[in-house]
Amino acid sequence: MTTAPVNATPPAPDALRLSGLTKRFGDKTAVDAIAFHVRPREIYALLGPNGAGKTTTLRMIAGLLASDGGDISIFGVDAIKDPLAAKQIVAWLPDEPLLYDKLTAWEYLEFIAGLWRVDTKLAEQRAEDLLRLLGLWDNRNDRCETFSRGMKQKAVLAGALIHDPRLLMLDEPLTGLDAAASRQVKDLLRQKVADGASVILTTHILEVAERMADRIGIIQSGRILVEGALGELQARVGAEGQSLEDVFLSLTRQAEAEARSAEPEPQT
């Protein structure tokens, strides 16, 4: 019989762990007791068709929407019992960039850093680093109302990262970005993961998930159908070597067919 050393270091908590997470809107269950986890230094892609429950799930994790049941743990912090502590280590980037149009990019980052009580000198350095990385440094004194859709998306991402969060949650982060801007965002996300952060993102661009994600979860009708690395998902449907798009369509179509066959026959 072996015993663990008395001074053994306990394993690091998951970056994110959901258990039984549920959300209802009236008589509709949008998220149905889902459970999955995101590991430290991992990019996790949460994929699903429109209305599957992806954004609702992220909004509950971010503390913007109350759940109707279940647990949310972020790096060991109970996000339901201690939402303020959880929010301090989380970044949330919605699919629509929301900015204060009359502020310049620099003023916007100063404002967001102030909300998080980031030290002024540290905030200035982080703001410069982020604006340079995202190609916005030359536009730092331009008002946000003059920005293109892609520039606004990058400015909001900089604002989300100004307090150096440990968990990044991104809902369709590449929407509206051209190829160069998409590369800047993807490079920044990889750098944040290399520095110790974790990322959970949604995207309808399956090639992005295939190339970037360490693991993938596929959600439909508020339930996780399957999760794992791409190779594990391919093996699940007997599609070794096929694209994530092929795997995704196979799994979601199978789930739709099973749901239809389970429906009661109409009364005549």
Q: 187-208: b or e for each residue (b if 16 or more CB lie within 10 Å)?
A: ebbeebbeeebbbbbbbeebeb
Check: pTM over 0.85? Answer yes or no: yes
Mean pLDDT, residues 246-266: 77
> How many other β-carbons are positioned within 10 Å of the β-carbon of residue 247?
25
For the chain, helix (H) and strand (E) counts, in that order, are: 9, 10
One CATH from 3.20.20.150, 2.40.30.110, 3.40.50.300, 3.40.50.970 for 13-89+167-189+200-254: 3.40.50.300
Provide the 3-class DSSP secondary structure of residue 17: strand
Query: Who wins on pLDDT, 7 or 23?
Result: 23
Residue 43 Cα distances to 16, 179, 209, 210, angstroms:
11, 20, 9, 11
Band the pLDDT of 6: cuts 50, 70, 90: low
Mean pLDDT computed over every residue of the chain: 91
Q: pLDDT tens digits, residue range 105-144?
A: 999 999 999 999 999 999 999 999 999 999 999 999 999 9
Q: Are 93 and 170 in contact (CB under 8 A)?
A: yes
Domain with CATH 3.40.50.300 in the chain: 13-89+167-189+200-254
Q: What is the pLDDT of residue 96?
A: 84
H helix intervals, 105-243: 105-115, 120-133, 149-161, 179-194, 206-212, 230-236
Instruction: Inform me whether the pLDDT recorded for 47 exceeds 80.
Output: yes
- Look at strands 77-78 and 69-74 and give their pairing: antiparallel
Band the pLDDT of 223: cuts 50, 70, 90: very high
Q: What is the pLDDT of residue 121?
A: 96
Identify the DSSP state of 52: S
Q: What is the pLDDT of residue 241?
A: 78
Band the pLDDT of 10: cuts 50, 70, 90: low
Identify the DSSP state of 196: T
